[in-house]
Amino acid sequence: MIPVSFDYQRPSTVDEAVQALSAAGDDGKVLAGGQSLIPMLRLRLSAPSVLIDLGALADLRGIREDGDGLLIGAMTRHADVLANPLVRRYVPLLAQATATVADRQVRHLGTLGGSLAHADPAGDLPAVAVALDATMEIAGPDGQRTVPAGDFFVDYLTTALGPADVLLGVRFPSHEGWGTHYEKFQRMAQAWALVGVAATVRRENGTIAEARVALTNMGPVPVRARAVEDALTGAASTADAIAAAAGLAGEGTRPTSDLTASAEYRAHLATVLTGRAVSAAAGVG
């Protein structure tokens, strides 16, 4: 299909981008890598009157060490995340999950920030950001602010970003020494996740000292599996303990039924995949 006609702007600074978005009001839309937005425009599911392309904002591209962790620019492409040795050292979970995003072509155009700001419940990276306790750096008409990943995802395709806000980057605390794993289940090799599980585990002396588990596509936003985390915390790092905890993965979730899977099946998958993700993260089994 052909998108509805729109204006196109390509600001050269973040301030210009914020001003352009402010001027556009509710009719503006940020264009990052375009891998979700362009198909939506073509299907006329989205019809903004102004597209504000962040492609010229070089400062929003790149990965650097930042305190105890990494700061990744919002416009950094998935392929650059994947290729980066710092990512593999500090947050290998991000690299592992990014490798499962769509296909090679998408990963060379799509961006980390675009993926998070789009907030598709079936997208892989929102749950990963939550499991890694990431923080979002945001610029808006009232200046800059930070929002924890856990507060960033508000509802289906909806985030804490206001209409004139620009996501600048994402801060990931180092998870060196943690065990992490992303377990994704999809029908087709290049499809969205029916369910995904991002698990991070810190072990001390054979027990699990700390765990964060976040679920993809088990509700309108990524869901922290708190019951699983509570059951794991202080538990022995054994297959039985993990299996018992994983059985609680459905608690607090709101999976949908759609053409690709029923809610019942998603709930079942959540327990199976949580068991697998935590086991892999903990190096058990």
Partner 1 sequence: MTITSQAPAAEVGAARKRKEDARLITGQTMWTENIVVPGMLHMAILRSPLGHARISRIDTAPALREPNVVAAFSGRDVADVQGSLPCAWPVTAELVMPAHPPLAVDEVCHTGEAVAVVVARDRASAVDALAAIEIDYEPLPVVLDLEAALADGADLVHTDQTTNKAYTWIFDSAQAGTGGAVDEAASGAEVVIRRRYRQQRLIPAFMEPRSVVVDATGDQVTVWSATQIPHVLRFLLAVGTGTPEHRVRVVAPDVGGGFGGKLQVTPEEMITYLASKRAGRPVKYTETRSDSLLSAHHGRDMIQDIELSARRDGTVLGLNVRLTANMGAYLGLVGPGVPILGAFMYNAIYKFPAYRFECTGVFTNTTFTDAYRGAGRPEATYAIERIMDELAVEVGLDPLEVRRRNWIGHEEFPFTTVAGLTYDSGNYEAATDRAKQLLGYDELRREQAARRASGDPVQLGIGVSTYTEMCGLAPSRVLGSLRYGAGGWESASIRVLPTGKIEVVTGSSPHGQGHETAWSQIVADQLGVAFEDVEVLHGDTRTAYKGMDTYGSRSLAVGGFALVNACKKVIDKAKPVAAHLLECDVSDVEFADGAFRVRGTPDGGRSLADCALAVFAAHDLPDGVEPTLDADDVYDPVNFSFPHGTHLCAVEVDTETGRVTIRAYVAVDDVGRVVNPMIVEGQVHGGVAQGVAQALFEEAVYDADGNLLTGTFVDYTPPSAADLPDIVSDRTETPAPDHPLGTKGVGEAGTIASTPAVVNAVVDALRPYGVDDVPMPCTPERVWQAIRNGGGQS
Given the complex with partner 1, which of 96 and 135 has the nearer CB atom? 96
242 and 276 Cβ atoms separated by less than 8 Å = no
For the bound state, the minimum distance from the C-beta of residue 103 to partner 1, rounded and expressed in Å, comes to 8
**Residue 80: both structure tokens together:** 């650059």
Given the complex with partner 1, which of 13 and 257 has the nearer CB atom? 257
Given the complex with partner 1, which of 89 and 268 has the nearer CB atom? 268
Contact set with partner 1 (CB under 8 A): 1-2, 4-5, 43, 103, 185, 187-192, 194, 259-262, 265, 268-269, 272-273
Question: d(Cα 153, Cα 159) in Å, to the nearest integer?
Answer: 5
Given the complex with partner 1, which of 76 and 217 has the nearer CB atom? 217
- Cα 65 to the chain's mean position, in Å? 20
Cβ contacts of 105 within 8 Å, gap of 6 or more? none
By C-alpha distance, which of 54, 58, 49 is closest to 11? 54
DSSP for 21-57? Answer: HHHHGGGEEEESS-TTHHHHHHTTS---SEEEE-TT-
Cβ contacts of 188 within 8 Å, gap of 6 or more? none
For the bound state, the minimum distance from the C-beta of residue 156 to partner 1, rounded and expressed in Å, comes to 16
For the bound state, the minimum distance from the C-beta of residue 284 to partner 1, rounded and expressed in Å, comes to 16
For the bound state, the minimum distance from the C-beta of residue 32 to partner 1, rounded and expressed in Å, comes to 20
For the bound state, the minimum distance from the C-beta of residue 137 to partner 1, rounded and expressed in Å, comes to 31
Given the complex with partner 1, which of 59 and 258 has the nearer CB atom? 258
